[in-house]
């Protein structure tokens, strides 16, 4: 699990936030530690499926590991994550439909089973935002910078509500919104570009904050002014290779230290 304690803020933030027209946040792993909940839900769902006797689809049935999450699932729309993981194992399942229940051995059925597991954990345990992320949100609020959440998760609005952050963002482009608008998900840049348009900001003056390789690639492909990679476990090298112009371990590192203020421990 990642450490939710914010890093000590540096004396001068590497970004001039006052020069940015908008800031676009991924949600899970950037604002809230719900990436860990997603990771557990994916692991339970895939390993239950892989262990089924006489399961359809053939392919490699060895257990799903954390590396599979970062390589094939992290940051992508849910059904894309299912497809990409199954393809990596040579497992072929029918697509099914979005109405499939969690017992259906289809791409949509597995995706819906994962979604149910995530919602159960969220309802049971709730969620609190990373303190460093709240510190950056506070700083941007002081500047009056318009903010958006751009998340592949269909549950983004529920997560924000559970964390008490709904009113911090002008718009939330969730997986459900992307599907409704016909926007391809990350690593395509379309959801980020759409959010910038809603905020009235040119991409050349907007910042993307992402913890997933697919999301960083989306920001880089969109031509955004800065793409910040937040390393919650994927690795700084992987984020840089995907196109991050700056990598931090926590968003507290991007908050300018106030003169005379004590460092956050």
Q: What residues are annotated to the active site? A: 26, 28
DSSP characters over 58-104: -S--SPP-HHHIIIIITTS-HHHHHHHHHHHTT-------TT--TTS
Q: Which of 149, 142, 145, 146 is nearest to 163 (CA)?
A: 149
DSSP H or E segment with residue 46? helix 34-50
Q: Which of 213, 245, 248, 246 is nearest to 70 (CA)?
A: 213
- Residues 231, 237, 242, 243: is their CA dihedral positive or negative? positive
> What residues have CB less than 8 Å from 243, skipping those under 6 apart?
216, 217, 219, 220, 221, 227
What is the rounded distance in angstroms from the CA atom of residue 126 to the CA atom of residue 147? 23
> What residues have CB less than 8 Å from 126, skipping those under 6 apart?
162
DSSP H or E segment with residue 147? strand 147-150
SS3 category, 253? helix
What is the rounded distance in angstroms from the CA atom of residue 116 to the CA atom of residue 48? 14
- 210 forms beta bridges with 229
Give backbone dihedrals phi and psi of 22, rounded to 5 degrees, phi first. -165, 155
């Amino acid at each position: 699990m990642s450490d939710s304690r914010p890093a000590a803020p540096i004396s001068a933030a590497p970004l001039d936030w006052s020069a940015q027209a908008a800031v676009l946040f991924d949600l899970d792993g950037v604002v809230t530690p719900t990436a860990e909940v997603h990771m557990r839900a994916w692991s339970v769902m895939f390993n239950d499926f892989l262990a089924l006797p006489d399961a359809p689809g053939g392919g490699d049935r060895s257990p799903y590991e954390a590396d599979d999450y970062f390589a094939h699932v992290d940051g992508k729309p849910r059904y894309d994550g299912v497809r990409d993981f199954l393809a990596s194992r040579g497992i072929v399942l029918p697509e099914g439909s979005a109405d499939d229940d969690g017992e259906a051995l289809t791409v949509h059925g597995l995706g819906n089973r994962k979604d149910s597991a995530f919602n159960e954990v969220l309802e049971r345990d709730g969620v609190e935002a990373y303190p460093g992320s709240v510190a950056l949100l506070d700083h941007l609020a002081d500047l009056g910078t318009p903010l958006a959440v751009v998340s592949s998760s269909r549950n983004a609005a529920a997560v924000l509500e559970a964390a008490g952050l709904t009113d911090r963002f002008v718009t939330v482009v969730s997986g459900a919104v992307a599907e409704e608008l016909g926007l391809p998900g990350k690593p395509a840049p379309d959801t980020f570009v759409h959010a910038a348009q809603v905020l009235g900001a040119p991409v050349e003056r907007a910042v993307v904050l992402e913890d997933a390789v697919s999301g960083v690639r989306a920001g880089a492909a969109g031509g955004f002014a800065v793409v910040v990679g937040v390393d919650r476990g994927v690795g700084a090298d992987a984020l840089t290779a995907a196109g991050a112009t700056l990598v931090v371990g926590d968003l507290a590192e991007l908050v300018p230290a106030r003169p005379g203020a004590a460092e956050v421990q």
